[in-house]
Amino acid sequence: MRKTVIAGNWKLNNTSKEAIELVTLLKRDLLDITEVDIVVCPVSTVLADVRDVLTESNIKIGAQNLFWEDKGAFTGEISAPLLKDAGAEYVIIGHSERRQYFGETNETVNKKIKAALVHGLSPIVCVGENLEQRETDKAFDVIETQCRESLAGFTAAEMKKIIIAYEPIWAIGTGKTASPDQAQEIHQFIRGLLVEMHDQELADSITIQYGGSVKPENIKDLIAQKDIDGALVGGASLKRDSFVAIVTGAC
Ligand code: PGA
């Protein structure tokens, strides 16, 4: 059985005070949830504060990025051992905003996944097409290249630690969600690629999240799809009520 994982991607939001307030409430509200795995991904500077609140909680912590080297002369970067030290168990890799604004490529994503796995962090690897690619029928090609290149060279055991997040760029922060059918079509395609790259058993074991304007109103229809195993939630993860409603809606 695949795990359903709901992860909140806070992006560049929440001071330490705001982060502590939010996770204190989430910890209480989501106390009884065992059906889905819950992850919050704050900015790196507040990871340790969030960890201190979430000890003995069912809510796990993720980071939003990492560098592939462990340490050294890499000013401004943060590494897997440091993220672990601050309480992270997951790390988002290759988010479209990082690909768009910070020059991430499938090759750097691949290196980052490797570094995360070496240090026991579970990577949440993002793939997704932009509007022009969708409108010109290139979505499948784009996703295939992203998956094959980003996920190249990992063993089946390593792959089992990876979560894939399908996030159509045209649906991120736009209020425009992919329809459940549109999302399912791509999720099924990604699972098919995993069969080609490995085998059916492995493909069936991998959690594939959907991301892009996930809200309390659409989570149930998305999660009801055969190949949608959770959500990567941006804007709606910043508010206690909407994140709690999304998590409970996925149960
Ligand atoms: P959104 O962001 O939910 O605000 O659309 C999702 C994401 O970028 O992970």
| pLDDT tens profile 88-147 | 999 999 999 999 999 999 999 999 999 999 999 999 999 999 999 999 999 999 999 999
Q: Give the model's confidence band at 246: pLDDT under 50 very low, under 70 low, under 90 confident, else very high.
A: very high
Report pLDDT for 145: 98
Report pLDDT for 94: 98
What contacts 24+ positions apart, CB below 8 Å, involve 239-247? 240/22, 240/25, 240/26, 240/29, 242/215, 242/216, 243/8, 243/26, 244/26, 244/29, 244/30, 245/216, 245/219, 246/6, 246/214, 246/215, 246/216, 246/219, 247/6, 247/30, 247/33, 247/36, 247/38
Q: Ligand 1: residues within 6 Å at CB?
A: 9, 167, 172-173, 211-214, 232-236
Q: Please name the residue whose Cα sits nearest to atom 1 of ligand 1.
A: 234
Bridge partner list, 42? none
Q: Give the model's confidence band at 173: pLDDT under 50 very low, under 70 low, under 90 confident, else very high.
A: confident
Superfamily holding 4-249: Aldolase class I (3.20.20.70)
Catalytic pick among 104, 167, 187, 198: 167
Q: Residue 187 corresponds to which tokens in the numbers above?
A: 């999720």
| pLDDT tens profile 45-94 | 999 999 999 999 999 999 999 999 999 999 999 999 999 999 999 999 99
Mean pLDDT of the chain: 97
Residue 219 makes CB contacts below 8 A (sequence gap 6+) with 231, 245, 246, 249, 250
